[in-house]
Amino acid sequence: MSSTDFLLVAIIFLPSVAAGAIALMDGKAVGTIRGMAFASTVVTFVLTLFLWGAWSGANADSPGDIVLLCEAGWIKSWNIYFRLGVDGISLPLVVLTGLVSMLAAGASWSINKQHKGYFILFLLLETGMMGVFLSLDFFLFFVFWEVMLLPMYFLIGIWGGPRKEYAAIKFFLYTLIGGVLMLIAMLMFYYGSGATTDSFNLIELANAASGSESTLSEFLSPETQVIAFVLLFIGFAIKLPAFPVHTWLPDAHVEAPTPISMILAGVLLKLGGYGIIRIAFPLCPYGAAVAAWWLVGIGVVSIIYGAFAALAQTDFKRLVAYSSVSHMGYVLIGLGVWSIGGDAYTAASRDYWLMGIEGAMFQMVAHGVSSAGMFFMVGVIYDRVHHRDLNKFGGLMGKMPVYSGLAAGLFFAGLGLPGLCGFIGEIFVVLSAWQFNSTLAIVAASGVILTAGYILWALQRVYLGSEYKGPHEEDITPINPREKSIAAVLLVFAIGLGVYPAVVFDMMKDSTANLTETMEQGYENAVPAVAEEEPVEQAQAMNN
Partner 1 sequence: MTETGELLRNLLMTAWLLPLAGFVVEIFFGFGLFSKNPRHSKGAAWCAVGCIGTGFVCSLIALLVWVNKTGGHDTYEADKGVEKGWMSVIADHNHGLHPHGDGEHAEHSEHEDGDKDHAAGGEQGHEAEGDTDSHDDKDAHAKPHNEEASIEGGEWQLASVTAEESEEHSETEDSRSAAEFPTAFSGRLYTLGEFGSLIVSLDYYIDSLTIVMFAMVTLIATCIHLFAIGYMSDELTDDYVDHFAHTSDGKHVHRPGRFYRFFAFLSLFCFSMLGLVLAGNIFQVFVFWELVGICSFLLIGFYTERKSASDAANKAFIMNRVGDFGFLIGLMVLWTYFGTFNFADINDEGQVTGGLFSMISRSTEGEDLGNVRVDEDGAVLITSPEGEVLQDADGNNRTIPYALLVVAGLGVFGGCIGKSAQFPLQTWLPDAMEGPTPVSALVHSATMVAAGVYLTGRFYPMFTAEVLLTIAYIGGITLFVAATIAIVATDIKKVLAYSTISQLGYMMLGLGVFGWAAGLLHLITHAFFKSLMFLCSGSVIHGCHHEQEMPKMGGLLKKMPITAICMLIGVLAIAGCPLFLGLHFSGYHSKDAIVASALAFSEKNPGHFLLFALPLITAGITSFYMFRLWFMTFWGKPRDQHVYDHAHESPWIMCVPLLILAPFAWLCAYGGDQGDLYVMLTKDAPAHIENGVTAVGDGVVLPEIQEMYNQHEAAGLWALTSAGIGFVLAFALYGMNLVNLDEMKKNLGAAHGFLANKWHFDDLYDGLFMRPAHKVAAFCAWVDRTIFDTTLHFLARLMVIIAQWDRIFDEKVVDGFVNLIASATGDFGERLRVFQTGRVRQYVMFIVVGVVILFAVVFSTFPG
Helix orientation angle between 316-336 and 285-311, rounded to the nearest 10 degrees? 150
| Residue nearer to partner 1 on the CB measure, 97 or 404 | 404
Q: Least separation, in Å, of the C-beta of 245 and partner 1?
A: 9
Q: How many CB atoms lie within 10 A of CB 27?
A: 12
Residue 78 as a binder of partner 1 (CB under 8 A): the answer is no
CA atoms of 537 and 542, how far apart (whole Å): 9
Residue 309 as a binder of partner 1 (CB under 8 A): the answer is yes
Residues 452-471: x/- map of binding to partner 1 (CB under 8 A)? xxx-xx--x--xxxxx-x--
Residue 299 as a binder of partner 1 (CB under 8 A): the answer is no
Task: Tell how far CA 386 is from the center of its chain.
Answer: 29
Please give the DSSP secondary-structure letter assigned to residue 315.
Answer: B
Determine which residue in the list 23, 46, 75, 312 makes contact with partner 1, applying CB under 8 A: 312
Helix (H) or strand (E) holding 501: none
Determine which residue in the list 143, 150, 158, 397 makes contact with partner 1, applying CB under 8 A: 397
Residue 501 as a binder of partner 1 (CB under 8 A): the answer is yes
CA atoms of 15 and 144, how far apart (whole Å): 14
Q: Least separation, in Å, of the C-beta of 475 and partner 1?
A: 19
| Residue nearer to partner 1 on the CB measure, 272 or 395 | 395
Q: Least separation, in Å, of the C-beta of 244 and partner 1?
A: 6
Residue 180 as a binder of partner 1 (CB under 8 A): the answer is no
CA atoms of 303 and 441, how far apart (whole Å): 11
Residue 440 as a binder of partner 1 (CB under 8 A): the answer is no
Please give the DSSP secondary-structure letter assigned to residue 264.
Answer: I
Q: Which residues of 415-441 are buried (b: 16+ CB within 10 A; e: fewer)?
A: bbbeebbbbbbbbbbbbbbbbbbeebb
Determine which residue in the list 215, 247, 477, 538 makes contact with partner 1, applying CB under 8 A: 247
Residue 503 as a binder of partner 1 (CB under 8 A): the answer is no
Determine which residue in the list 428, 487, 490, 494 makes contact with partner 1, applying CB under 8 A: 428
Bond into 282 cis (ω within 30): no
Residues 207-246: x/- map of binding to partner 1 (CB under 8 A)? -------------------------------------x--
Residues 348-367 that bind partner 1 (CB under 8 A): 348, 350-352, 354-355, 358, 362
- Amino acid of residue 460: Q
Radius of gyration (C-alpha) of the chain in whole angstroms: 23
CA atoms of 303 and 333, how far apart (whole Å): 10
- Amino acid of residue 102: M
| Integer CA distances (angstroms), 214 to 79, 218, 284, in order | 18, 7, 15
CA atoms of 497 and 366, how far apart (whole Å): 7
Q: Do the beta carbons of residue 468 and residue 378 sit within 8 Å?
A: no
Q: Do the beta carbons of residue 361 and residue 507 sit within 8 Å?
A: no
Residue 82 as a binder of partner 1 (CB under 8 A): the answer is no
| Residue nearer to partner 1 on the CB measure, 114 or 346 | 346
Assign 3-class secondary structure to 189-235.
HHHHCCHHHCCCEHHHHHHHHHCCCCCHHHCCCHHHHHHHHHHHHHH
Q: Least separation, in Å, of the C-beta of 368 and partner 1?
A: 18
DSSP symbols for 122-137: HHHHHHHHHHHHHB-B
Residue 395 as a binder of partner 1 (CB under 8 A): the answer is yes
Residue 9 as a binder of partner 1 (CB under 8 A): the answer is no
Determine which residue in the list 54, 417, 489, 527 makes contact with partner 1, applying CB under 8 A: 417
| Residue nearer to partner 1 on the CB measure, 143 or 397 | 397
Residue 422 as a binder of partner 1 (CB under 8 A): the answer is no
Q: Do the beta carbons of residue 412 and residue 369 sit within 8 Å?
A: no
The stretches of 464-480 forming alpha helices (DSSP H) are none
Q: Which residues of 129-163 are buried (b: 16+ CB within 10 A; e: fewer)?
A: bbbbbbbbbbbbbbbbbbbbbebbbbbbbbbbeee
| Residue nearer to partner 1 on the CB measure, 144 or 423 | 423
Q: Least separation, in Å, of the C-beta of 394 and partner 1?
A: 10
Residue 513 as a binder of partner 1 (CB under 8 A): the answer is yes
How many residues bind to partner 1 according to rule CB under 8 A? 63
Determine which residue in the list 50, 82, 109, 434 makes contact with partner 1, applying CB under 8 A: 434
| Residue nearer to partner 1 on the CB measure, 233 or 305 | 305
Q: Least separation, in Å, of the C-beta of 199 and partner 1?
A: 32
Residue 433 as a binder of partner 1 (CB under 8 A): the answer is yes
Q: How many CB atoms lie within 10 A of CB 122?
A: 28
Determine which residue in the list 441, 462, 479, 487 makes contact with partner 1, applying CB under 8 A: 441
137 phi and psi angles, rounded to 5 deg: -115, 130
Determine which residue in the list 34, 83, 164, 170 makes contact with partner 1, applying CB under 8 A: 170
Q: Which residues pair with 135 in a beta bridge?
A: 84
Binding residues for partner 1, rule: CB under 8 A, are: 170, 244, 247, 250, 305, 308-313, 346-348, 350-352, 354-355, 358, 362, 395, 397-398, 412, 417-419, 423-424, 427-428, 430-431, 433-435, 438, 441-442, 445-446, 448-450, 452-454, 456-457, 460, 463-467, 469, 500-502, 505, 509, 513
